[in-house]
Amino acid sequence: MSATPPYRAPWWLPGGHLQTIWPLARMGPLPAYRRERWETPDGDFIDLDWVDSARDVAHPAPLVVLFHGLEGSSRSHYARTLMRAVRAFGWRGVVPQFRGCSGEPNRLPRAYHSGDSAEIDWILRRLRQRAGDAPLFAAGVSLGGNALLKWLGEQEHGSLELVVAAAAICAPLDLTISGTALGQGFNRMYSRHFLATLKRKALAKCAAHPGHFDAARIARAASLAAFDDAYTAPAHGFAGVDDYWRRASARPWLGGIRTPTLVLNAANDPFVPPAALPRGHDLSPHTRFELPAGGGHVGFLAGPWPGTQDWLGRHLLSHFAGHCAGHLDAHLG
């Protein structure tokens, strides 16, 4: 697959907010997903949506896994564009939906969070078995990108046993900086959007699991910080929002990454201020950091009006395809 050109935002779509919002109206059709349910070791479940390849099962195609963002799913615009590209390329794809994100409430009081590298590890180990002799590639968007990068840094050389190459798109990296930014100015609009579903799900958990959480605090939460302090932190073993944001951030782990990894952020991403971005000393030599001037938060719309989202899928597959030959050489050797 040929390399994609560097990303340039369309002249007719100026600014990070428009570049974040307009792509939501350009989703395109859903891929032909096949759903599968996995029981988790702790008595819960996750749902995975698969895109299958037409290749002979004796010669399995590479498998691309996508970890979605906050309140995302396989229906998110970025999941659609990547999985359609995977299908067109003749590969296999899968979107594991974090607990409670597949359209059905999960069973346990817990849900998912930005630093859940243990869940990433469990999923990738199962997918490595399913991939067979074919390469396994991992991508993560926003929250999913942060969790994936944290896992890669924690695992260091161990990640190479599971994943050939990885990519993180618009990962917040420093949750304290991004979380604070989402409580300010126009960004509060995005926070209200997320809170509408987060609070509804959390309050349902309060009803299903009495005594675990303070439902009144959750109901009063007017910011992501307040919600994370009332629900996300206690549900997942953190002392509070500050402890959660500090311990779940991926930036301290970037130097440990040994898997070839693309880290893609937009300079005008309203969710990820410049202070949250990695500096040179943060990055492992095995990472390639790209910072186009435009793109918004997981927007990356391209082409003439009204634009398409094809660039992101092609760019990720180009990155992954560049590591296929080395994997096959090593396997055959």
CA dist., res. 277 & res. 149, Å (int)? 13
User: How far does CA 199 lie from the centroid of its chain?
Assistant: 21
Cβ-in-10-Å burial (0-12, 13-18, 19+) of 202 comes to: buried
User: How far, in Å, CA of 128 to CA of 136, rounded?
Assistant: 7
**Distance between the two ends of the chain, CA-based, in angstroms?**
24
Q: Are 187 and 270 in contact (CB under 8 A)?
A: yes
What CA–CA distance (Å, rounded) separates 282 from 138? 21
Task: Determine the 3-state secondary structure of 46 from DSSP.
Answer: strand
Of residues 269, 284, 315, 319, which has the active-site annotation?
Answer: 269
State yes or no: is 297 an active-site residue: yes
Judge whether 142 counts as a catalytic residue. Answer: yes
* Residue of 103, 117, 109 whose CA lies nearest to 48: 103
Torsion sign across C-alpha atoms 202, 207, 210, 216 = positive
Q: Which residue has the tokens 């509070």?
A: 240
As beta bridge partners, residue 263 has 168, 289
Select which of 68, 77, 236, 297 is catalytic: 297
Q: CA–CA separation, 245 vs 179, rounded Å?
A: 8
Catalytic annotation, pick one of 74, 114, 142, 178: 142
Distance of CA 147 to the CA centre of its chain: 7
Which helix or strand (DSSP H or E) is residue 92 part of? Answer: strand 92-97
Residue 26 corresponds to which amino acid?
R
Catalytic residue ranges? 142, 269, 297
